[in-house]
Structure 1
Amino acid sequence: GLGELLMGATNRLVSKQISREANVTPGPLPNEFLASVNEHFDQGTQRAILQLYRTSPEERLAQLGAGLGRLDCPALIIWGDQDPYIGARFADDYAAALSGPSEVVHLPDAGHWPWFDRPDVIERVAAFFNTR
């Protein structure tokens, strides 16, 4: 189908363009990161991504989030509010579904890969896990 055709046409140039649209920071993601993504973007990965998108409308993602109640451990949820793929409301929904304590951090100036828009968030993640 069309999805398979688009996946098959994805190369470094296409990945670079897509990465421009997924983040708030102007420009594409770093070349090293994109090279790693493309190196692992084989047919199996492409099929898995297509299946995920085809079976994951927002209603289904919400259903899957309901299963998070089985997790009873501290959680840090960091979400780029400008994520063009998955709405920021899922951060709060997932936190509410967890049984353990959770902390939600909304980054209004970050997109799908928040650590690229806000590298300082990595320190926050490290601090969260170092105190556990």
Structure 2
Amino acid sequence: MTDLNTPTIRTRESWVEHPQGRIHARSWAPSNMRSGVAPIVLFHDSLGCVELWRDFPADLSAATGRRVVAYDRLGFGKSDPRSARPPLDFIADEAETYFPAVREQLGIGPFIAFGHSVGGAMAIHCAAEFAADCKAPITESAQVFPEELTLRSIAEAREQFRDEAQIARLAKYHGGKAAWVLDAWTENWLDPGFASWSLDTVLPRVTCPVLAIHGDEDEYGSTCHAEIIATLSKGRSQVEILPDTRHVPHRERPAVVLELMSRFAGSLD
């Protein structure tokens, strides 16, 4: 039986033109979308892309009654390839160089930024860079500095990806860019020049509300990251530590994450 209360979700594919290449984006909008509410923009993780969000964006759109937008960072998913590895300041660079084009060409005014893993750090940067328009950043499994646990797990993942079958699985989503995507993740994070990176000077520029979600068994970062986000940001903060949860809460605990995000987003209106 069809649930008459379940909204229809309309999807749209878009391309953002940028001097360095075309960026692929997809949006989801519910049939019951409320007028005047800020859309939620998704920032994917280091190996992620639009496709790897799977059903989450549509479910988030239905749960919140908002437009949800996700895009493949340049070099990832269906976006154009990049030749060189991203610079070591790639997290700030995403907010300063690429996201402005995404906002402008997709008609995004005020927004909520949701980022998973390194995407969470990018969401924080976007909240600081566009303080007048960002209603809130929501982070999930974000890192705010290169913790030893993070670096150890990345080094272990790099060894696992020596298996060609692992690269083949990555190529399913990134095509011929798979090796570049892996290199962009592992070699930047493990580069000695990246050791001094942190969000310590960025978080105090975030004056809007913040929601930090983290699993208590996250293999890529301890719960201290969520606590630092809440402590250093200047707006109202909410920390949610999910028990028995690893690095991808929106896949492991989708109902919980959707409820947290829906309630938090509703408090911003």
Could you tell me the TM-score, scaled by structure 1's length?
A: 0.64
Q: Which amino acid in the other structure matches residue 116 of structure 1?
A: R
Q: Which residue of 2 aligns with 1:29?
A: none
Paired position in structure 1 for 2:40: none
Q: Which of the pair is proportionally richer in helix?
A: 1
Q: How far 1:73 moved relative to its partner?
A: 0.9
In the aligned structure 2, how far is the partner of 1:107 from the partner of 1:43?
Answer: 32
Question: Does structure 1 conserve the Cα–Cα contact (< 8 Å) formed by 2:216 and 2:223?
Answer: yes
- Determine the structure 2 residue equivalent to 1:9: 162
CA offset digits 1:55-109 (Å, max 9, x no partner): 48xx746x32442111111111000010011111111011111111110001122
3-state SS in 1 of match to 2:220? coil
Superposition deviation, residue 8 in structure 1: 5.6
Mapped to 1, the partners of 2:243 and 2:196 lie a distance apart of 25
More strand by share: 2
Counterpart-to-counterpart distance in 2, 1:107 and 1:9: 32
Residue 109 of structure 1 contacts residue 117 of structure 1 at CA under 8 Å; is this kept in 2?
no
Match of residue 39 from structure 1: 173
CA distance in structure 2 between the aligned counterparts of 1:84 and 1:97, rounded to whole angstroms: 23
Segments of 5+ residues of structure 1 without an aligned counterpart are 16-33
Aligned length: 107
Label 1:52 to 1:123 Cα distance change in 2 as closer, same or farther (>3 A): farther
Q: Are the structure 2 counterparts of residues 68 and 55 from structure 1 closer, same or farther at C-alpha, using a change threshold of 3 Å?
A: farther
Q: Does 1:93 align with 2:246?
A: no
Letter in 2 for 1:118: R
2:185 aligned partner: 49
Q: TM-score, normalised by structure 2?
A: 0.34
Q: Secondary structure at the match of 1:42?
A: helix
Structure with the bigger RCO (C-alpha within 8 Å, sep 6+) is: 1
Q: Report the counterpart of residue 207 of structure 2 in structure 1.
A: 72
What secondary structure is seen at the aligned counterpart in 1 of 2:183?
Answer: helix
Distance 1:126 1:66 in 2: 29
Q: Deviations over 1:37-69 (max 9, x none)?
A: 84126233212201342148xx746x3244211
Q: Deviations over 1:17-47 (max 9, x none)?
A: xxxxxxxxxxxxxxxxx77x84126233212
Query: Of the candidates 91, 94, 103, which is equivalent to residue 238 of structure 2?
Result: 103
Q: Is the 8 A contact 1:80 1:112 kept in 2?
A: yes
CA distance in 1, matches of 2:244, 2:196: 27
1:118 is aligned to 2:250:
no
Kept in 1: contact 2:160–2:166 (CA 8 A): no
Match of 1:81 among 198, 213, 216: 216
When residues 10 and 93 of structure 1 are mapped into structure 2, their CA distance, relative to the original with a 3 A threshold, is farther
User: What root-mean-square deviation, in Å, do the aligned CA atoms of Structure 1 and Structure 2 show?
Assistant: 3.1
Mapped to 2, the partners of 1:8 and 1:112 lie a distance apart of 18
> 1:123 & 1:52 partners in 2: Cα distance?
34
Unpaired runs of 5+ in structure 2?
A: 1-154
